[in-house]
Amino acid sequence: MKDRPRRLGRPSGAPSRTVLAIGIAVVAGYVATTWFSGQLSPLARRPLLDGLVPAAPYRWVDPPPELESTNVEPTPVTKVMDLGNRGSETAIVSTDDAQVTLVLPRGAFGTAPERQGVRVRIEPLPPDAVEPPEPPLRIIGNVYRMRGTYIPSGDAAPFQSVGARVVLVYPFISTDHWQHAVIVSADGESWTAVETNDFRTIQQADGPIDTLDYVAVAQTGTRVSPAPTADGGVDVATVAIIAGLVALATGAVWAVRPARGSSKRGPTGSRKRTDPRRRRDERTRGRGRSNSRPGKGAARGSRPNRSPNTRTD
């Protein structure tokens, strides 16, 4: 008689339902937060693996008196760009402290005879180094001067403005309840506000630029409108985030709940099974012992017959 194949349980390398549920919840949360940040702006998308850490303190050229002891000077940046047949290549120029980032599309600087490349320089300046903008605009933070010069001559490189953008970080001020705009100036005297994406939660503003000279962030004089709320005055975004977290928790609990009746039975393959041949041999030996007991007159040293086919009268 052939042995029945033994049922095997879950392979040792197979993931459990708990692990799968946790993995699904993590992936869903990652996708949801990535989608939410992507709705803000491509320039506002930050790496999620950096974690939830507070923003670095703003670096002032001319800090307020109460911040002089802890202020760190902002950093300038210089980048060299090669010139090809179609002008300069796409490039991103950012300071080490990430307070200003310049996004340059292909062809931002055109070709010129005997020109090998373009040197782009971004330098922080105090607000009093330029003329203030007309009210109600008011500069907050540093002013940055951006220049492009040809290599090796050092002549100013004409700037093609199509598609160029600048991203600026501005300081956090507890009393700042105004909207913000990126302002640009070709001479440091006359300022123009451009269409701006203002992200107050990360103190960042970005907008297009048509000149490579002076840029800054300014308060616009318009108060920030309250965020849309649900009934009861709760922020709609907060309600959506809470609802998403509840849905993830519910899905994880449903995925790891035990199957009906599984608490009374162990996992498949955990029961101890006995070989059928072993059980048959044990029954045969037991029957032989009961039928082969010697009588009272039998010698003590005689061995009983354990054959299953032998009977004693």
- DSSP assignment of the chain equals -PPPPPPP-S-TTSPPHHHHHHHHHHHHHHHHHHHHHHTT-GGG---GGG-S-PPPPPPPSS--GGGTTT------EEEEEEEETTEEPPEEEE-TT-SEEEEE-TTSB---TT--EEEEEEEEE-GGGSPPPSTT-EEEEEEEEEEEEEETT-PBPPB--TT-EEEEE----TT--EEEEEEEESSSSS-EE---EEEGGGTEEEEE-S-SSEEEEEEEEEEPPPPPB-TTS-BHHHHHHHHHHHHHHHHHHHHHSPPTTTTTSPPTT-S----HHHHHHHHHHHHHHHH----TTS-TTPPPP--TT----
Confidence band for 260, pLDDT divided at 50, 70 and 90: low
Quick one: pLDDT at residue 144?
Answer: 98
* pLDDT greater than 70 at residue 294: no
Domain co-membership, 33 together with 118: no
- The verdict on 42 and 163 lying in the same domain is no
The pLDDT tens digits of the residues spanning 188-202 come to 999 999 999 999 999
Q: How many residues are recorded in the chain?
A: 313
Q: What is the mean pLDDT of residues 270-279?
A: 59
Write down the pLDDT at residue 221. 84
Lowest mean pLDDT, pick from 67-76, 141-150, 201-210, 228-237:
228-237
What is the tally of structural domains in the chain? 2
120 lies in the same domain as 172: yes
Mean of pLDDT values over 237-256: 67
- Note if the pTM is more than 0.75: no
30 plus 164 within the same structural domain: no
Q: Are residue 74 and residue 179 in the same domain, yes or no?
A: yes
- Average pLDDT of the chain is 76
Asked if residue 150 belongs to a domain, the reply is: yes
pLDDT of res. 33: 58
Q: Give residue 73's pLDDT.
A: 96
Q: Are residues 80 and 161 in the same domain?
A: yes
Same domain, 143 and 199: yes
112 within domain boundaries:
yes
Residues spanned by the domain of 245? 17-47+241-256
Q: According to the model, what pLDDT value does residue 42 have?
A: 46
For residue 309, is it within any domain? Answer: no
What pLDDT score does 121 carry?
97
Q: Which amino acid is at 69?
A: S
User: What is the mean pLDDT of the segment spanning 54-69?
Assistant: 91
The region of weakest confidence among 23-32, 168-177, 270-279, 289-298 is 289-298
- CATH code at position 200: 2.60.220
Note whether residue 305 is domain-resident: no
Residue 129 C-alpha from the chain's centroid: 39
Q: Which residue has the higher pLDDT, 112 or 2?
A: 112
Residue 237: predicted pLDDT: 55
Most confident of 28-32, 109-113, 128-132, 268-272: 128-132
For residue 2, being part of any structural domain is answered with no
**Which two tokens mark 214?**
């002076």
> Does the residue 252 lie in any domain?
yes
Average pLDDT over residues 84-105: 93
Whether residue 215 is found in the same domain as residue 247: no
Residue 84 in any domain: the answer is yes
Do 31 and 168 belong to one domain? no
Residue 8 lies in a domain: no
Average pLDDT of 42-67?
Answer: 70
Q: Are residues 171 and 75 in the same domain?
A: yes
Q: Same domain, yes or no, for 68 and 160?
A: yes
For residues 42 and 89, membership in a common domain is answered with no
**Percent of the chain's residues with pLDDT above 70:** 57
Q: What band does 248 get if pLDDT is binned at 50, 70 and 90?
A: confident
Q: How far is CA 34 from CA 31, 49, 158, in A?
A: 5, 11, 38
Q: Which residue has the higher pLDDT, 30 or 139?
A: 139
Q: Which of 211, 231, 256 is the last residue of a domain?
A: 256
Q: Which residue has the higher pLDDT, 283 or 109?
A: 109
pLDDT at 214: 97
pLDDT in the model for residue 157: 92
